[in-house]
Amino acid sequence: ELLFFINESATKFFQNYGYRPIVTPTFEKEELFKRSIGASTDIVQKEMYEFEDKAGRKMALRPEGTAPVVRAFIENNLQALPKPVKLYYIGQMFRYERPQAGRYREFWQMGAEAIGSSDPALDAEVIELCYGYLASLGIKDLVLKINSMGCRDCRGNYIEELKKFLSRKVSEFCNTCSQRIDINPLRVFDCKQESCQEALNDSPKILDYVCDKDKAHFERVRTFLDAVEINYTLDPHLVRGFDYYTKTTFEVLLPTLGAQNALSGGGRYDYLISDYGGPQEPAIGFAFGTERIMLALESQNISVFTRPDLDTFVVWLEEEQKTQAYKTTSYLRDKHLNVLMGLDGKSMKAQLKMADKLQARTALIIGEDEVKAKLLTLKDLETGEQEKLSLEQTVDKLREKS
């Protein structure tokens, strides 16, 4: 129930910002993720579920949601819509990881993508949406980290300097990181080994190499965040785990969760759509880890979900009244009341006990006398008071109590 509450409440938040839903397949061509996420990333190399279908095509269960949305955007000509095109998705993702608290091989993800604008105000709005939803759940001590990765042109200089730095310290890195130095040095920042993280402490900072245009873009993003008083920390080592990110990147963390403390993350990907054969469209997006949010709520004893109150429980006494009870239950539901009906021919005492267990406000009793008089007996389960009412009066009374 908490999972569905989070999905539903996030949907309302997305819609408040003008996002529309999009649904993509659970599996896609393997090449989509290799080209978008990056062939040298942990996800592609170690975590992606791959298989061949009956036609011999190499497929993969989706490990993340952005690449499928981009493919759907291109193939369905969504670029014809007014810009930016704002889309959100909610669905299950799959990664072959070591299961632990907050990390599963099948997990829920909620994400938003805004395509067709490079305006820094959009970056700030997306960050505000991401951070704002988590804050709206009552989660305390959230930490928002932001950075800029620059564009492809200015990032080249940074990567060359990073390679030189890493090569000088190659003996301090694990085997996986050592292999990445020449292939994709940015992925070294993904490593969770403490020794590798310590070796990176004095590494070059990407913001020192960002071009003037991208620096100005990032400063505007920060100006908008400051205007709405969203607190953030500048993290020069925040590069995100996918190769497609450019310019603004961000994460929202809850440090008290330990190793699995990232609740959300995202950033710009201004080249991904054109790289996949579509038009040159700048874009920005992010995703929530739903199970991580659930873990955060549990860790802070936050109760955000309340089961809808049961307006009444319909009790019938004999088989002859069951049809009338069924008809009454259906009628009340048509009036948008939450109603359950007793089943399996249980005694009135057993049905009333069930109503109490279900925390129904009232019980609606239908016996022989009620059928003859064309009335219903409404019993308040808190006070024990009873009154005979017509069907229309019953609807009014139940609405008063709801």
Domain identity same for 12 and 76: yes
Q: How confident is the model at residue 256 (pLDDT cuts 50, 70, 90)?
A: very high
> pLDDT, tens digit, for every residue of 220-229?
999 999 999 9
Q: What is the 3-state secondary structure (H, E, C) of 230-245?
A: CCCEECCCCCCCCCCC
Q: How many domains does the chain have?
A: 2
User: Kindly report the CA angle at 41 between 37 and 205, in degrees rounded to 5?
Assistant: 95
User: Quick one: average pLDDT of 368-393?
Assistant: 95
Domain identity same for 14 and 135: yes
> pLDDT, tens digit, for every residue of 30-51?
999 988 887 777 788 888 999 9
Is residue 196 scored above 70 in pLDDT? yes
**Is residue 183 assigned to a domain?**
no
Q: Strand pairing partners for 50? A: 60
CA dist 94 and 104 (Å) reads 8
Domain identity same for 314 and 360: yes
Domain identity same for 314 and 279: no
Tell the residue number behind the tokens 């193939």, with chain if given.
75
> pLDDT, tens digit, for every residue of 111-160?
999 999 999 999 999 999 999 999 999 999 999 999 999 998 888 888 88
Domain identity same for 381 and 321: yes
Tokens found for residue 230: 């969203």
Is residue 102 scored above 80 in pLDDT? no
Domain identity same for 113 and 253: yes
Give the CATH number of the domain where residue 135 resides: 3.30.930.10
**Is residue 236 assigned to a domain?**
no
**Is residue 220 assigned to a domain?**
no
Domain identity same for 109 and 69: yes
User: Quick one: average pLDDT of 180-195?
Assistant: 82
**Is residue 171 assigned to a domain?**
no
Q: How confident is the model at residue 305 (pLDDT cuts 50, 70, 90)?
A: low
Domain identity same for 11 and 39: yes
**Is residue 240 assigned to a domain?**
no
For the ranges 59-63, 77-81, 123-127, 158-162, the lowest mean pLDDT is seen at 158-162
Determine the pLDDT at residue 254.
96
For the ranges 96-105, 255-264, 386-395, the lowest mean pLDDT is seen at 96-105
- Top-confidence residue, 140 or 244: 140
> pLDDT, tens digit, for every residue of 267-304?
999 999 999 899 999 999 999 999 999 999 999 999 88
Query: Which own/partner contact pairs does 341-349 have at CB distance under 8 Å and 24+ positions apart?
Result: 341/313, 341/314, 341/316, 342/313, 342/314, 342/315, 342/316, 345/319, 348/315, 348/317
Q: How confident is the model at residue 313 (pLDDT cuts 50, 70, 90)?
A: very high
**Is residue 242 assigned to a domain?**
no
Average pLDDT of every residue of the chain: 92
> pLDDT, tens digit, for every residue of 4-33?
999 999 999 999 999 999 999 999 999 999
Q: How confident is the model at residue 71 (pLDDT cuts 50, 70, 90)?
A: very high
**Is residue 209 assigned to a domain?**
no
CA distances from residue 147 to 202, 222, 225, 236, 339 in whole angstroms, order as listed: 17, 10, 13, 6, 52
CA dist 56 and 53 (Å) reads 5
Tell the residue number behind the tokens 């990567």, with chain if given.
159
Domain identity same for 345 and 293: no
CA distances from residue 263 to 142, 280, 291, 295, 375 in whole angstroms, order as listed: 9, 30, 9, 9, 54
Instruction: Determine the structural domain holding residue 315 and report its residue range.
Output: 310-401
Determine the pLDDT at residue 197.
83
User: Quick one: average pLDDT of 311-332?
Assistant: 96
- Which of 277, 299, 321 is where one domain is finished? 299
- Other CB atoms within 10 A of residue 6 CB: 23
CA dist 42 and 50 (Å) reads 14
Q: How confident is the model at residue 241 (pLDDT cuts 50, 70, 90)?
A: low
Determine the pLDDT at residue 307.
66
Residue partners of 129: CB distance under 8 A and separation at least 6: 13, 14, 17, 112
For the ranges 61-70, 174-183, 378-387, the lowest mean pLDDT is seen at 174-183
- Which of 272, 299, 326 is where one domain is finished? 299
**Is residue 158 assigned to a domain?**
no
Q: How confident is the model at residue 191 (pLDDT cuts 50, 70, 90)?
A: confident
Domain identity same for 315 and 291: no
Determine the pLDDT at residue 175.
87
Determine the pLDDT at residue 258.
84
Give the CATH number of the domain where residue 339 resides: 3.40.50.800
CA dist 22 and 87 (Å) reads 6
* Of 18, 36, 20, residue with least CA distance to 271: 36
CA dist 132 and 136 (Å) reads 6
Domain identity same for 65 and 114: yes
Domain identity same for 111 and 254: yes
User: Quick one: average pLDDT of 330-335?
Assistant: 97
